[in-house]
Chain A
Amino acid sequence: MHFFSTLFAGLFFGSGLILSGMANPTKVQNFLDIFGTWDPSLAFVMGGAILVTAPGFWFVQKRSTPFFHDMFHLPTRNDIDARLVAGAAIFGIGWGLGGLCPGPAVTSLPFATSGVLVFVPAMLVGMSLAKLTALPSRKTIPA
């Protein structure tokens, strides 16, 4: 059950992305192209997701713990810092350039289009680089 829940969560997520058209980078870029070939579909994807997630989270968190784990891991910070804004700004530039964000990029891997095969390794490198720059300030490195 433990693993099935995560496997199905991944499967539903990927299926949702494909059904909604978000695995198609051109469709995502068209959402961002409000002064050109605008396609508002992505707003409906976010709307549909939030319509399920918001009440779902509220209902689930009435429990004291999740089903297969001892606690909820909820982000607790509420300060707006430069890292958050800079990170989101950089993310948005890359998202606009390629029309891909992490979910659709991983989901599209099995199609093996050359663009995705270039994008995903580059994305993993970018993630590791960001972890590398963020780590030393938070953790003390053992000598």
Chain B
Amino acid sequence: METEFTPFASLLGGGLIGLSAVILMASHGRVAGISGIVSRILPPAIDTKGLPQGLTFIAGLLLAAPLWFGFIGQAPVVTISSNMALLGLAGILVGFGAVLGNGCTSGHGVCGISRMSGRSMIATATFMTTGVVTVFILRHVVGG
């Protein structure tokens, strides 16, 4: 299914994500990596000291969609696969891979690249590549 190319909304939305990363660094000295923030408050070895901060950040994330709905009056377009087994597998791989590789799209892709981290550049290039290959197989080999 095609989606509309939205350079301006995407650039502006990206800017908001950047603003969030700068706020978190300025206030708590933390990198805004969502996989890190979420996984630190999960067992085993829960980061109890960082728990209140982590939960508050996640509360903010969860508030965004209802507020958006309240202001705009309609939910944003969300189309997602209806294959639940596939999404379950995708979830496990995303969670496992992000923690194993110390970061996801936000931690490596935004914050890491902004810090000119070599590790983050390698990680971002790697997940972009396997993502492209996976979608190619999913849509053009298996589903094609």
Q: Which residues of A contact B (CB under 8 A)?
A: 2-3, 5-27, 29-30, 32-37, 39-42, 44-54, 56-57, 60-61, 63, 65-69, 71-75, 77-80, 83-103, 105-111, 113-116, 118-135, 139
Contact = CB atoms under 8 A, between A and B. Distances in A.
Given A26-B3, A53-B21, A78-B118, A110 B66 contact: yes
Interface in B1-53: 1-7, 9-32, 34-35, 38-39, 42-45, 52-53
Given A16-B14, A98-B87, A103-B61, A84 B28 contact: no
Nearest to A65: B29
B31 A73 contact: yes
Given A46-B14, A72-B29, A10 B56 contact: yes
A69 B27 contact: yes
Contact of B62 (A26, A65, A107, A129): A107
B3 A27 contact: yes
Interface of B: 1-7, 9-32, 34-35, 38-39, 42-45, 52-53, 56-68, 75-82, 84, 86-102, 104-106, 108-115, 117-119, 122-124, 126-136, 138-140
Interface of A, helix, strand, loop or mixed by DSSP = helix
Contacts of B78: 23-25, 108, 111, 113
Contacts of A51: 14-15, 18
A89 B32 CA distance: 21
A115 B113 CA distance: 30
B119 to A, nearest CB: 6
Given A51-B14, A53-B111, A87-B98, 17 more contacts: A8-B60, A16-B16, A20-B11, A26-B1, A26-B80, A33-B139, A36-B135, A47-B14, A71-B29, A73-B29, A80-B122, A95-B94, A97-B86, A98-B94, A119-B90, A129-B95, A130-B98
A110 B60 contact: no
Given A20-B12, A20-B17, A132-B44, A11 B60 contact: yes
A91 B101 contact: yes
Contact of A86 (B101, B105, B110, B132): B101
A84 B106 CA distance: 15
Contacts of A26: 1, 3, 79-80
